[in-house]
A and B are shown apart, each in its own frame.
Chain A
Amino acid sequence: MKTVMLLLPICLLALAGVSSGQDFKKEFIDPMPQDSRSAAVKVKGGTMLFLAGHTASLSQANAELGNFNAQFKRVFDKIKTTLSQGGATFDDIVTMSVFLTDLRYIPEFNKLSKEIFKKNFPAITFVEVSHLARPQLIMEIQPIAVIP
C-alpha cells in the first residue's frame, strides 16, 4: 500500500511531463504591425518545417522581369504550395530570411506582406545581396514554420 501511495505521484509526474511536451505555445515579442514583423517569435512544441529559399520561377517569359509585385506574388504562391504540402499555412511561419537585390523594396514588401500576415507577424531579417541564383531574380525568401 505504501509503495502504491509513493508510486502514484511519481507516475502522475511522469505523465504530466509527457503531456506538457505536447502543449503548443506561440508568443509574438514586440510585434511591429507597421513593418509587418515581430522582434522575435517564441514557440514551444509543434512540428518544424524548414523551407528552402523560394524565388519566382520565371517560366512565363519575361513578364516578371524586374517587377517587384509580380515576383512577390509568385514567391508567396510557391511558399503557400510548399507549406500546404507540409501541412502548414502562412500563419505558421515564425521567421523568414528575405534576400533582396535592393533594400529600397522594403516598404513595398511590408505593404504586400501585411495582406498575408494579418496579425501573426513573423520575425524577419532583410539582407541586400549583390546576386541571387539567376539574373532576373530580385528576391529570395527562406521561411521556417512551426505547425501546432
Chain B
Amino acid sequence: MRMIILWGLGLFILAGSALAQEREMIIPVPQSAYSQAVKIKGGTLVFLSGIGPADEKGVLAAPGDFPGQVRATWENLRRVLAKAGGSPDDIVTMTVYTTERRWGEIFTDMRKEVFKTGYPSSAFMEARKFKTPGALLEIQAIAVLKE
C-alpha cells in the first residue's frame, strides 16, 4: 500500500515536470501556418538575430527568387538553432519581414512544411530593406528549448 502511494507521488512529480515543458498553441490558424498565441512555461529561451537568406559569410542565396530565399532562410535558422541545441520546432514566435507583402501566401505555404508539432505565433509585415543587399525577407524568432 505504501509503495503504491509512493509510486503515485513519484509519478505526480514526474508529470508535473513534464507538464512544465508542454506548449499550448492557442487558436491555431493552419491555413496560414501560425497560432494566435503560444503558451509555455519554463525552458531555455533563445533569442535569434534577424535571419535571412545570406550564409555565414554573408553571401546571398537565390538572388531575386523569393521561394529560394525562404528555403535558404529556414536552413540558416536551422543552423543557428542547432548551435543553440534546438530546432525550428522550438520556435514560439516570429516576426517575418518581407520587401513585398504580396508574398505572404507563398511564405505561409512554405512554413507549413517546416512545423510538424504545432505553429508558432507570428507577425508578417513589409519592410523596405535588410542588412544584406538583395535579401527579400528576414525572420526574427524566439525559441524555447525542450529540456
* From A122, A125, A129, residue with most partner B Cβ within 10 Å: A125
Is there a chain A Cβ closer than 8 Å to B47's Cβ?
A: yes
Is there a chain A Cβ closer than 8 Å to B84's Cβ?
A: yes
The distance from the CB of B74 to the nearest CB of chain A, in whole angstroms, is 15
B interface, over-half SS = mixed
| B46 contact from A2, A7, A41, A128, Cβ within 8 A | A41
A146's nearest neighbour on chain B, judged by CB, is B45
Decide if B10 touches A40 in the complex (CB within 8 Å).
no
**A residues contacting the other copy or chain, number (CB 8 A):** 37
Bound CA–CA A7/B9 (angstroms): 9
A10-B9, A97-B140, A130-B128 known; A124 and B50 CB under 8 Å?
yes
Decide if B13 touches A103 in the complex (CB within 8 Å).
no
Bound CA–CA A38/B51 (angstroms): 11
Is there a chain B Cβ closer than 8 Å to A42's Cβ?
A: yes
Bound CA–CA A27/B45 (angstroms): 10
Bound CA–CA A95/B140 (angstroms): 10
Bound CA–CA A144/B3 (angstroms): 48
A 27-40 binary contact with B (CB < 8 Å = 1; else 0): 10110000001111
The distance from the CB of B78 to the nearest CB of chain A, in whole angstroms, is 12
A126-B130, A126-B131 known; A40 and B6 CB under 8 Å?
no
Is there a chain B Cβ closer than 8 Å to A44's Cβ?
A: yes
| B128 contact from A6, A27, A94, A129, Cβ within 8 A | A129
Is there a chain A Cβ closer than 8 Å to B83's Cβ?
A: yes
Decide if A10 touches B46 in the complex (CB within 8 Å).
no
A3-B6, A14-B13 known; A39 and B80 CB under 8 Å?
yes
Which residues of B from 92 to 120 have beta carbons under 8 Å from A?
95, 97
B interface, how many residues as a size bin?
20 to 34
By a CB distance below 8 angstroms, the chain A residues around B6 are 3, 6-7, 10
Decide if B2 touches A3 in the complex (CB within 8 Å).
yes
By a CB distance below 8 angstroms, the chain B residues around A21 are 42
Decide if B9 touches A39 in the complex (CB within 8 Å).
no
Decide if A42 touches B17 in the complex (CB within 8 Å).
no
Is there a chain A Cβ closer than 8 Å to B44's Cβ?
A: yes
Decide if B129 touches A41 in the complex (CB within 8 Å).
no
**Other A-B pairs beyond A25-B44, A103-B131, 19, CB < 8 Å:** A6-B6, A7-B6, A10-B9, A14-B13, A21-B42, A29-B83, A29-B84, A38-B49, A40-B47, A40-B48, A40-B80, A42-B44, A42-B46, A43-B46, A103-B129, A123-B49, A124-B49, A125-B95, A128-B127
